[in-house]
Chains A and B, each alone.
Chain A
Amino acid sequence: MKKLLSVLLVALLVAGLMTSALAGAADGKKIALVGKSAGNAFFEVAANGFKAAGEAEGAKVDVVYPEDATADAQIKVLDNLISQQPDAICISANDVNALQAKLEEAMDAGIKVSAFDSAPNPASRQVFINQVTNDGVALGLMDAVYDIAGGEGKWAILSATSQAANQNAWIDAMKALMEADEKYAKLELVEVAYGDDEPQKSTDQTQALLDNYPDLKVICAPTTVGIMAAAKLVQDTEGCAVKVTGLGMPSEMLAYTGADDAHSCPYFFLWSMPDLGKMAAYTTIALINGDITGAEGETFTAGDLGEYTITKADDGGTQVILGPLFKFDESNVEEFAKLY
Chain B
Amino acid sequence: MKLKKLTGSREFLLFIIVIAMFAIVSIINPAFFSFKAVTDMLRNNAVTLVMALGMLGVMLVGGIDISITSTLALSGMAIGMLLKYGHISSTLVAFLITMGIGTACGALVGLLISRAGVPPIIASMGFMYIYRAMGYLISNGGEWASAAALGDFKNFGTEKLLGLSKVIWVIIVCYIVFFIVMKWTRIGRQIYAVGSNAEAAEVSGIKVKNIKLLVHTVMGFLAGLSGAIQVAVYASAMPNMAQGGEMDVIAACVIGGVSMSGGRGSVIGALLGALIMAMIPKALPLLHIDALWQNMIKGVMILAVVVINVILQRVANRNALARREM
Closest Cβ–Cβ distance, residue A320 to chain B (whole Å): 28
Q: Are A251 and B144 in touch, CB under 8 angstroms? A: yes
Q: Are A232 and B32 in touch, CB under 8 angstroms? A: no
- 7 interchain pairs (CB within 8 A)? A200-B45, A204-B44, A207-B40, A212-B29, A249-B146, A252-B147, A255-B147
Known: A211-B31, A256-B147. A201 touches B286 (CB 8 A): no
Q: What is the CA–CA distance of A200 and B32 in the complex, to the nearest angstrom?
A: 17
Which size class do B's interface residues fall under? 35 or more
Q: Are B235 and A255 in touch, CB under 8 angstroms? A: yes
Query: DSSP class of A's interface residues: helix, strand, loop or mixed?
Result: helix
Q: Are A193 and B285 in touch, CB under 8 angstroms? A: yes
A323 sits at the interface (CB 8 A):
no
Q: How many A-B residue pairs have C-beta atoms within 8 angstroms? Tell me.
A: 82
Q: Which chain B residues (265-312) contact chain A, with CB distance < 8 Å?
A: 281-282, 285-286, 288, 291-292
Q: Are A200 and B44 in touch, CB under 8 angstroms? A: yes
Which residue of chain B lies nearest to A251 when distances are taken between CB atoms in the complex?
A: B146
Residues of B within 8 A of A225 (CB): 238
Q: What is the CA–CA distance of A36 and B143 in the complex, to the nearest angstrom?
A: 15
Closest Cβ–Cβ distance, residue A216 to chain B (whole Å): 12
Could you say which of A38-46, A118-126, A136-144 contacts chain B?
A: A38-46
Q: What is the CA–CA distance of A228 and B158 in the complex, to the nearest angstrom?
A: 16
Encoded as 1 (CB less than 8 Å from any A CB) or 0, chain B from 192 to 217 comes to: 00000000000000000000000000
Q: What is the CA–CA distance of A225 and B234 in the complex, to the nearest angstrom?
A: 10
B141 sits at the interface (CB 8 A):
yes
B140 sits at the interface (CB 8 A):
yes
A14 sits at the interface (CB 8 A):
no
Q: What is the CA–CA distance of A12 and B99 in the complex, to the nearest angstrom?
A: 72
Identify the B interface with A (CB < 8 A). 29, 31-32, 37, 40, 44-45, 47, 140-144, 146-149, 158, 230, 233-236, 238, 241-243, 245, 281-282, 285-286, 288, 291-292
Q: Are A212 and B149 in touch, CB under 8 angstroms? A: no
Residues of A within 8 A of B245 (CB): 200
Q: Are B146 and A228 in touch, CB under 8 angstroms? A: yes
Q: What is the CA–CA distance of A232 and B292 in the complex, to the nearest angstrom?
A: 25
A199 sits at the interface (CB 8 A):
yes
Q: What is the CA–CA distance of A205 and B284 in the complex, to the nearest angstrom?
A: 9
Closest Cβ–Cβ distance, residue B298 to chain A (whole Å): 11
> Which among A162, A194, A203, A211 is the interface contact of B44 at CB below 8 angstroms?
A203
Residues of B within 8 A of A229 (CB): 234
Encoded as 1 (CB less than 8 Å from any B CB) or 0, chain A from 250 to 265 comes to: 0111111000000000
Q: Are A205 and B141 in touch, CB under 8 angstroms? A: no
Residues of A within 8 A of B144 (CB): 249, 251-252
> Which among B146, B238, B241, B291 is the interface contact of A193 at CB below 8 angstroms?
B291
Encoded as 1 (CB less than 8 Å from any B CB) or 0, chain A from 168 to 198 comes to: 0000000000000000000000001110001
Q: What is the CA–CA distance of A292 and B167 in the complex, to the nearest angstrom?
A: 60
Q: Are A251 and B148 in touch, CB under 8 angstroms? A: yes
A101 sits at the interface (CB 8 A):
no
Q: What is the CA–CA distance of A154 and B291 in the complex, to the nearest angstrom?
A: 19
Residues of A within 8 A of B282 (CB): 204, 207-208
